[in-house]
Chains A and B, each alone.
Chain A
Amino acid sequence: MEDLTFSTNASHSQKAGSASVSSGSHRYKSPDSMESVGFTRPKKMVLTDEGHPFELELRKNGQPVYLRHLEVEYETYGELSPEKDNVILVTHALSGDAHVAGWDASATETYRPWRLRSPGWWDEMVGPGQPFDTNRFFIICANVLGSCYGTTGPGSINPETGKPYGLRFPQVTVGDWVHMEAALLDRLGIQQLYAVCGGSLGGQQALEWALCYPDRVRKCLILASGPRLSAQGLGFNAVERHSILHDSNFNGGDYYDKTPPVNGLATARMLAHITYLSGQGMDKKFGRRLQEGTASRSNGDGRSFDIEFAVESYLSHQGSSFVERFDANSYLYITRAMDYYDAAGKWGDGDLVKAFSRIKSNMLVASFSSDWLYSPEESKQFVTALMRNGIPVTSVMLESNYGHDAFLVETNRVARILRAFLLSAGSNGTN
């Protein structure tokens, strides 16, 4: 783990103290650092109006499904050039949000309080002189449709009923997210993306951009991702949803005025977190170490199912801190969108080579050796399909113990790769 610690005021450090079970001490860029984007504020835009609803990809009984009201929360960093040719779209992963970098000035102890304690989820990558260099690029990230961070989702008010949608929210897809982002960019007058970049589910979104809008993407950067989720991945998502759906507080998704299904959601997150690490990484980080201040009862002195091992404590903390900031219904919708995504099925009748014949962007595919959610073998499918189309491809496989999380944790090496690929002129006349 990177060595990260920073706190802006007393309230941060108090909270951080209780989080010490997790990943050691964290050092963040402070908002006044020369490399930070500083304090940020989320932006909102309504993409629908009377007579112009947002059409979703999935139909119901053969009929198109619309959202009458779609509001998107997004953030931007840096300045849009007069030619509007310096735009990088960053796409977030399952539990991410539009807050990529900086310290959210709108956060309070009662509104998104976790943002008081840490900057955006990819803060290391964005800022003056960073790979997503705010001195030259205009970086934009939108919270995906169906999420719970400001963009319309199952927790939003259904205009038909005046109540939260819950499970009445229509199923959304990775394609919907891309169409939503395209609509947002249209309204901002941005035709072409210099680059689109994402990891994990965000990587699939970046790929969908290159497939759906080949003429709008110059460079496409995909990290720790694959053209579809493996059977193992589908299985994990199924167990995670099962745990939410069978929480006694779930109540068919209508829990917004009651106690939410926090146990189910925490369990889902704990399982998911295991899939983000690797076996050897967990051994290195926790081993069979006991949680500080805990005596093992394995010598027969009674029995306890309380937390004893450090790894139990870590996962428990991941679960409980997640429920503070995430909505269980959104978790259901987004994991389903992840399940359904299949680039080959959607664009190539099941043939990835055929699907990729549409691509015109310069492609970067990065994978991590110990990632078993989107393994290097999955990434290799991208590379093969591009090669079979005669499309020049850049791929890199980083040796790392950090599993799937490596794309967020191996900051320096990932930064080096992103910087190299973003700044290169590109051969073959594509740039």
Chain B
Amino acid sequence: MDKTKVPQRDFGTSEIEILLRKLGIEAVDSDFMALQQEVLHALRHGTDHEFTMQKHWEDPIIRDIVLPGQSVVDLGCGDGELLVRLAFERGVKVQGIDHSEDAVVRCMERGIPVCHEDLDKALLDFPDNCFDYAVLEKTLQTLQNPLEVLESMMRVARYCFVSFPNFAHWSIRMALSYSGRMPITGTLPYNWYDTPNIHLCSITDFLKWIETDGVQLHDSWVVVADKILPYDPKQNHNIKGEQAMFLISRGQGKRS
């Protein structure tokens, strides 16, 4: 992989402070010093910002919320890691959907009902409200028609978990600003020409969509370094958050 390196030179701490302020980070932030050190380290050693949180950080959160006997459809379920535990540990009724033959076979072996479908079209045939939850883990940015899929999810399920990498994370901003090249990071480990991530967005972008489209937001989780925090607009989460997950629904109001 051709990792994007920031040109290595000696940055002063005041330089970083100015930079962070330009990015919009407030000095009152209690994490300011820590972030400053982290950015400094990244700049001195290139932007190989590693994602330290476990890969399926969303799964335990989802497992805690979904109740036994409820139903879940996982769009882009991969090898069925989330669903197999929901089904066998929590007695949840599950349905997986994935576009990869290998993933589908692995789900079959694990006893997970799974459909081998193009994710953009997969939900079109499902009836309204046939699941309690729909899950879209780190898949939104790979869809051809992300908004149509989100709309389908909210139609077929009462609630939807949607997680994605935050393209406005400081490591990505730095990589693009300093190297002038497409960022390659722990969460987005691809070259511009082979990335499946065609519709990236930031936390702010997603929240803006929620607001303008009248979507109901029920809960939020943002990965900041090694912690999972509820989204807080005062905490620069659109800069510090590496990934985020939101629990959304179409709500009762707009539904007829």
Are A393 and B101 in contact (CB-based, < 8 A)? Answer: no
Whether A428 contacts B87 in the complex (CB less than 8 A), given A417-B105, A420-B105, comes out as yes
With contacts A396-B101, A427-B87, A427-B88 taken as known, whether A383 is within 8 angstroms of B125 at the C-beta atoms is yes
Closest to A383 in B: B115
Let me know if B111 and A426 touch, CB within 8 A: yes
Residues of B within 8 A of A67 (CB): none
Q: Which of A396-429 contact B (CB under 8 A)?
A: 396-399, 413, 416-417, 420-421, 423-429
Interface string of A361-387 (1 = CB under 8 A from B): 010100000000000000010011001
Contact code string B110-153 (vs A, CB < 8 Å = 1, else 0): 11111111000000011100100000000000000000000000
**With contact pairs A387-B126, A392-B95 given, residues A427 and B112 touching in the complex (Cβ less than 8 Å):** yes
Contact B101 A395 (CB under 8 A): no
* CB-CB under 8 A for A387 and B125, given A398-B101, A427-B87, A427-B94: yes
Q: Does A302 contact B (CB under 8 A)?
A: no
Residues of A within 8 A of B91 (CB): 429
Of B91, B109, B112, B113, most A-chain CB atoms within 10 Å: B113
- Whether A387 touches B130, Cβ cut-off 8 Å, given contacts A394-B113, A421-B108, is yes
Distance in angstroms from B129 CB to nearest chain A CB is 10
Q: A388 within 8 Å of B by Cβ?
A: yes
- What total of chain B residues lie within 8 Å of the partner, measured CB to CB? 27
Task: Return chain A residues, CB-CB under 8 Å to B110.
Answer: 424
Q: A428 near B93 (CB under 8 angstroms)?
A: yes
Q: B104: CB under 8 A from chain A? A: yes
Taking the nearest CB of chain A, how far is it from the CB of B163, in angstroms?
23
Asked if B109 and A424 make an inter-chain contact with CB atoms under 8 angstroms apart, the answer reads yes
Scoring A364, A395, A429, A431 by chain B CB atoms within 10 A of each residue's CB, the highest score goes to: A395
Are A396 and B116 in touch, CB under 8 angstroms? yes
Closest chain-B Cβ to A164's Cβ sits at a distance in Å of 46
CB closest residue in chain A, given B99: A397
Q: Are A387 and B108 in contact (CB under 8 A)?
A: no
Interchain CB contact under 8 A, B125 and A388 = yes
Contact (Cβ within 8 A) B93 A392: yes
Task: State A413–B108 Cα separation when bound (angstroms).
Answer: 13
Q: Is the CB of B94 within 8 A of A392?
A: yes
Assess whether A390 is interfacial by the CB under 8 Å rule: yes
Distance, CA A388 to CA B117, complexed state (A):
16
Q: Complex: how many Å from CA A424 to CA B84?
A: 12
> For residue A353, which residue of chain B has the nearest CB?
B127
Contact with A along B54-95 (1 / 0, CB 8 A): 000000000000000000000000000001100110010111
Q: Do the beta carbons of A420 and B109 come within 8 Å of each other?
A: yes
Complex CA distance for A396 and B105, rounded to whole angstroms = 8
Q: How far is the CB of A415 from chain B (nearest CB, A)?
A: 11
A392 touches B113 (CB 8 A): yes
Contact: B116 with A416, CB < 8 Å? no
Nearest neighbor of B106 in chain A, beta-carbon distance: A420
A423–B111 alpha-carbon span in the complex (Å) = 8
User: Which of the residues A388, A426, A428 comes within 8 Å of B127, measured between beta carbons?
Assistant: A388
Say yes or no: A416 contacts B94, CB within 8 Å: no
When chains A and B are docked, how far (Å) is the Cα of A427 from the Cα of B115? 15
CA distance A428 to B113 in the complex (A): 9
* Chain B min CB distance to A376 (Å): 10
A residues in contact with B107, CB < 8 Å: 394
Is B130 touching A390 in the complex (CB atoms < 8 A)?
yes
> CB distance A428 to B126 under 8 Å?
no
Return chain B residues, CB-CB under 8 Å to A417: 105, 108
Contact A427 B117 (CB under 8 A): no
Shortest CB-to-CB span from A425 to chain B, Å, is 4
For A417, the closest partner residue in chain B by CB is B105
Give the shortest distance, in Å, between B74 (CB) and chain A (any CB).
Answer: 12
Among A396, A427, A428, chain B packs the most CB atoms within 10 A around the CB of A427
Other-chain contact of A384, B113, B116, B125 (Cβ < 8 Å) = B125
Q: How far is the CB of A386 from chain B (nearest CB, A)?
A: 9
Per-residue CB contact flags for chain B residues 174-187 toward chain A (1 = under 8 Å, else 0) read 00000000000000
**5 A/B residue pairs, CB under 8 Å, sorted by A:** A387-B126, A394-B104, A396-B104, A424-B108, A427-B84
The chain A residues found within 8 Å of chain B, CB to CB, are: 362, 364, 380, 383-384, 387-388, 390, 392-399, 413, 416-417, 420-421, 423-429, 431
The 7 closest A-B pairs by CB, nearest first: A392-B113, A427-B87, A424-B111, A420-B108, A384-B125, A420-B109, A396-B116
Beyond A395-B114, A428-B93, 8 additional contacts (C-beta under 8 Å) are A395-B115, A396-B105, A396-B108, A396-B116, A420-B106, A420-B108, A420-B109, A427-B88
